[in-house]
A and B are shown apart, each in its own frame.
Chain A
Amino acid sequence: MPHLLDVDHVVRKFGGLTAVNDVSLHLDKHELVALIGPNGAGKTTLFNLLTGMVQVTSGKINLQVDDKNYDLTHKSAVQIADLGLSRTFQNIRLFKDLTVMDNVLTAMTNEYKENFLTTVFRLPSFYKTEKEMRAAAQKLLAIFDLTENEQTLAKNLPYGTQRRLEVVRALATHPQILFLDEPAAGMNPEETADLTNLIKYIQKEFQITVLLIEHDMSLVMNLAERIYVLDQGEILATGSPEEIKANPKVIEAYLGEGDD
């Protein structure tokens, strides 16, 4: 049985440095998987490989949707986004000078077709499409409690809210797989708890697969059905949260002993 996403012996070298070394992993439909590991382990590079921002040196990436196979190996970021893989960024990359609403609408660019003439001469179909887009965006913003901030510029939002908006924007592309790069970074425990519930909710509600990078172990152990541990570019271990917690190799490389 093929997986939704199959990453097969992927290698990425930057000059003499091997950032990702022979990594194989897979994601199934509606799974919530976490990717953990110490700083510099290659987690973000792996995300960049999966979303086409960086090309693999060798190996294969394969997507299987509705019995159709897509080879993602040498596809561009735009093509991969169109196939339903969406992401957030570790160092928040919102469109800072656009409003919250426009940030979300931007993610719907490819979904709604607007013809040049109907747009520039404001024919009725322009207003119809625009209305549909706005309604869809408002629905998403309401779920994430951002309705009040609709007209706020993204750069003026508090940090935690910016992270939330990035998730909304990623969801607006209607992804099959959502990659979250440290969604809880810089959040206080209360915000983290809210975020945990929210991720659980969107995974169920939107029926999507989520792969997340996170350092906050309470969040990871709470959410993830499966965990991959990456260390020095290689997969060190994989398994359920309980198995990972008990794995001596993981404890040594990342989690640390309880008493030090």
Chain B
Amino acid sequence: MVGSSASPVAAQGPVVSLRQVTKRFPGVVANDHVTIDLWPGEVHVLLGENGAGKSTLVGMLSGLQKPDEGEILIDGSAIDIASPRQALDLGIGTVFQHSMLVPSLTLVDNFTLGGPWWKRPDREGVAARMREQASSIGIRIDPYALAGSLSLGEQQQVEIVRALMRGSRCLILDEATAMLTPRDAEQLGELMRRLVARGLAVVFITHKLNEALAYGDRISVLRLGKNAGAMEPQVLKSADTSAAMAEVVRMMFGTNAFGEAESGAREMRAVGGRPVLAVDGLAVDDGSVPLSGISFTVAAGEILGLAGIDGNGQKQLAEALAGQRPIRSGSLKLKGVSLEKAGVGERRSHGLRYVTDDRLGEGTVGTFPVSTNLLLKQIGDRPFWKSGVEQPAAIADNARRYVGEFDVRTPSIETPVAKLSGGNIQKVLLARELSGAAEAVIFAKPTYGLDVQNIRSSRRRIREAAEAGRAVLLISTDLEEILELADRIAVMSQGRIVGTVDNDADARRKIGELMSGMTV
């Protein structure tokens, strides 16, 4: 397929090229000298973890953001893409993960929305062209159907038709399969193949490695905003699936060679066998990733790492363990006490703590002072409240103590927590969750979005928590972090734990295999 469709157009050169593109946001370099070529007649898969810089890249291609350095070449000449409209005029169409159609309007009306307001839209003409365009790529759409009545997969097909009708030569599918059912995702994959057969350049962004290998002609991997590696079509075609998969996992999660001993890795510690946190056969309902058959134990002083590609049920598991989400079946025991029916407060008072990764969304109330946020899970407890009346002195003392102990850099304990930097908000959360009688602590992506210094101090806190005899569940999408900290590592995929390995010299390879869906 690749050979037959690519050969007639290969001589033209890439449709779009990014040359040494850099984009900075306050505190982060989202894209760091990224170079990527998009060839006609190819599905170019862009892989990378959350925060690897894929969205920024798409933003620059679709005219939403401008690069700080480097240039974007279209048909070989450098062009500033100033607006989404200009991107469309240049032939770059983007289909986002979430539908951009107005659900209460018919498809035709959605298509004519952008037209001049003083003209009566030519609905019949547009409908005819829609049908024609759709049938030319082998799909059927009803132009007079309400957008909201279509499935997400169908809505994406419609958006692809819209992009083609606007003359797109380069089509970006941003995490297009993330919300689709397997059947819809498969159809989208077939559609992509038909589009490239017509000479289009397709950029396919995904988390799912099997899709990348099934539909992609060329793979580029981004990691921490940089090019982490690429696979040329001829390599990809000749390599067998499992070898290619292993290679991609290696590019995504670290460039260290396989056998290399991690110098920063912890020495194996003898961990007491007494399980503190025991989960057995846990099942949790969820619209996108239901959990089932989750079983693990964490001993006192042990760090169990939970690795996996983002969106495989880690968040749901953390919430179910913390008590924010009902457990359908299975058991959760903390030091032998059954807690599966208990609420958040009761679990906390038994010593189960949860450091959320959504620091401002749910972890704190941004407009409230640091001092209040430190006690957010203890509202009404003595000595900070007596008979329900707040004791400002006790609250301030508590805040001063933890601000000092956890080195929270804040102008004052009365400062609204949202005014602090991400690293300092994380310190507030750590102070709140690690204080008092903590027995087991769940960390969800504890260093996500932090700078190097705060990453280091957060990891130190995690290690100290374990050394103090707490059972630690470390959920992270950063494999390096898990390899650095964990004693054992469980791998999560599609709402299940697909395997657990000891953190030894061979762990990286085994985890990679588990993640990519192979059995160890």
Q: Do the two shown chains form a genuine complex with each other?
A: no
Binding site for A on B (CB under 8 A): none
Binding site for B on A (CB under 8 A): none
